[in-house]
Structure 1
Amino acid sequence: MKRIFSGVQPTGALHLGNYLGAIRNFVDLQHEAEAIYCIVDLHAITVWQEPSALGPNTREVAAAYLAAGIDPKKSIIFNQSRVSAHAELAWIFNCVARIGWLNRMTQFKEKAGKHREQASAGLYIYPALMAADILAYKATHVPVGDDQKQHLEFARNTAQKFNYDYRGGDENGVFPLPEPIIMGAAARVMSLRDGSKKMSKSDTSDMTRINLSDDRDTIADKIKRARTDPDMLPGPDVLDESGDLPEHTRKSRPECFNLLGIYAALANESWREVLQRFEGQGFGGFKPQLAELAVEKLGPMGQEMTRLRNDPAEIDRILADGADRAAEIAQPVLKEAKQAVGFLLD
């Protein structure tokens, strides 16, 4: 049976982009495989986190998982720092992975920017921790987006080198090579105020995003106020031969195609279907329909998140139970890795 591992950082309010890009897929995958969903708080502190906010943010991600439909009895939900195998195995992998691999990681360059000398060492070596997250459970598959493919390749390289170094390249080495699950073309959710920028929880204006915790009225109001352009909605003739939206076309009307893309994703419809339905209409007619759909899909989630937020003890109970179940899987794997390395164990 397939075993899936994935995680989300607790670094602020989750929004529509997080849901469509990851969490919605997690809900579907739990019915196809053994699923382990982590809140990666160790990764979060690679950049400064206000200590008083980290705990509430961790519960917020857990609430989003639960409100979206992840079943804590079917899947394992926990926060990473509760299971010490992640950090212990990461150190072993720090000694297996090569500096050259880390130097090629594009996300470090993007996050550190011009101030890489001031970045934390954790931010530089966190691909080894990500490899440990996956391999501590001998996960066979990992759902990935375009920005995570490089990290999964790093995990595969680390597993392969560990097996070669400590098991002589034995095909039945300690760690399997995890395979990616490509979830298809994920919706590219952009800011509601600037269609050229990604929807982000770090944006100073709350009107740029739809938070998963937003109530129905707030969702509708944000869509009503979303930026548009003066032209009518296009038809399917803007698509290429494969039915995809060309990048140059998207850039020509970024706000228009952002809202149409959100509709398509929430309705589980293709670009062609959506463009055929709304061709020639103005935003005055389209926006109310998008708002109705978004409220229908997201409103109950926000309501459930509010209920869970008011019951932190229930969230903590679920996280603690998930951590116990996760540790039962990870600790034997960690022991196997330590034995392979040659550590003396009790």
Structure 2
Amino acid sequence: MARIISGITSTGKLTLGNYLGAINNFLKLQEKHELLIFVANLHGLTLPIKAQALKENIRDIAAWYFAAGIMPNKTHIFIQSDVLAHTQLGYVLLCNSYVGELERMTQYKDKSQKMTNQNKTISIPTGILAYPTLMAADILLYDADFVPVGIDQTQHLELTKTLATRMNNTYKTQLFKVPKIIVDQQAQKIMSLQDPTKKMSKSDDNLKNTIFLSDNKQEVTDKITKAVTDSENIIKFDPQRKPGVSNLLTIYASITNKNIKTCEQYFSNHNYGFLKKEVIKVINNLLEPMQKKQQALINEKLSQLVEYLQQGAAFANKIATKKLNFVENIIGINFIEKEK
């Protein structure tokens, strides 16, 4: 059975894009693989965030996982900071990386360009630069066979593979398993509703761009009704010429588990109004039962949620501690070898 590791950063509320691009894929993977999923709360510190907001995000994201159908008897879900080996190995990997390769990361360049203060000085948090080495530790601790990612994270995964190979060669030992990348080709990228040339994001300042998993029926209706299309009124999948319409088709196809061609045929004799009504219907049918389960976990069943996370952390700690001890013994940190 292959081992798979993945996580979602605890910044902002989860979106429909998070569900269709990641969580929906987990539901399939948990049936055939050993799946570990973590709430990446340490990554949530790379940019300023209020303590209470971070606490609520961690709780809510964990609850969404289980509400979406991830089963605690099949999948091990835990909070990143509950496994201290993540930060310890993250520092080891940081010491084996180069400033230049970290500065070349696209997300670092994008985020650092937005850090100019009012007085024209630039203050770039170090965590943004070091983020990819902690992400590499998240993966390499578990000797993961596969890592499911969105297309925007593939560069970080390539760095993970580079660091693993580099250290294996440096110490002439198989310190780390080099993981393979899984990209969900159908629903790998759900786009912004108002600007369908960019990805739907939980940190978007314009709330009209994003469907959150917590949105009620009216909010979903308003956002999809106002979603950008074009003037042709022809429903066709063409991301280059018709990004807005293509995004709505992708959402519909992903939720209904139909291929794009089938959806194009279904909508071929209809207008954009009909397309939007159908998209609204399937989104609300998806979200309503999930929302009820998520709220129950946060309110009446909070102790059950905590228990699930503690079980997940206990499982993860066994694997991670063993791996960290092995690495530290090999690289010379421990003058008395720890138990492998």
TM-score (norm 1): 0.88
- How do 1:113-152 residues align onto structure 2 when only pairs under 5 Å count? 113=113, 115=115, 117-152=122-157
Identify the residue that residue 156 of structure 1 maps to in structure 2.
Answer: 161
Distance in structure 1 (CA, Å) of the matches to 2:10 and 2:280: 27
C-alpha separation between the residues in 2 aligned to 1:187 and 1:129?
Answer: 23
Superposition deviation, residue 267 in structure 1: 1.6
Structure 1 residues 195 and 181 mapped into 2: Cα distance closer, same or farther (>3 Å)? Answer: closer
Under a length normalisation based on structure 2, what TM-score does the superposition of the two structures give?
0.90
Q: Percent identity?
A: 39
- Per-residue deviation, 1:217: 4.6
The aligned residue for residue 278 of structure 1 is 267
Deviation digits for residues 156-175 of structure 1 (CA, Å, limit 9, x no counterpart): 11111212222x2x4xx121
The count of aligned residue pairs is 330
1:97 and 1:158 in contact (8 A); partners too = yes
The Cα shift of 1:276 comes to 1.2
- Superposed, 1:68-107 pairs within 5 Å as 68-107=68-107
- Taking the TM superposition and a 5 Å limit, the aligned residue runs for 1:220-231 are 220-231=221-232
Inter-CA distance 330–227: structure 2 relative to 1 (3 Å threshold): same
Tell me which of 244, 260, 278 is aligned to 2:249: 260
1:17 shift after superposition = 0.7
2:278 alignment partner in structure 1: 289
Counterpart for residue 11 of structure 2: 11
* CA deviation after TM superposition for structure 1 residue 234, in Å: 3.2
Residue in 1 that maps onto 2:289: 300
Offset of 1:14 from its aligned partner?
A: 0.6
CA distance in 2 between partners of 1:103 and 1:292 (Å): 44
- 1:293 Cα deviation (Å)? 1.7
Maintained 8 Å contact 2:30/2:75: yes
Query: CA offset at residue 253 of structure 1?
Result: 3.2
**Distance in 2, Cα, partners of 1:225 & 1:183:** 28
Query: Which blocks of at least 5 consecutive residues in structure 2 are unaligned?
Result: 117-121
Counterpart check, 1:341 vs 2:323: no
Structure-2 separation of matches of 1:29 and 1:330: 21
Structure 1 unaligned blocks of 5 or more: 236-244
Q: Distance in 1 between matches of 2:225 and 2:291?
A: 18
Q: Cα–Cα, structure 1 residues 131 and 203, in superposed 2: closer, same or farther, change >3 Å?
A: closer
Deviation at 1:205, TM superposition (A): 4.2
**In 1: Cα distance, 2:207 partner to 2:315 partner:** 37
SS in 1 for 2:181: strand
Query: How far apart in 2 are the matches of 1:156 and 1:196?
Result: 29
Deviation (angstroms), 1:43:
1.0
Partners of 1:286 and 1:186 in 2: CA distance: 18
Aligned-residue offset at 1:221: 4.3
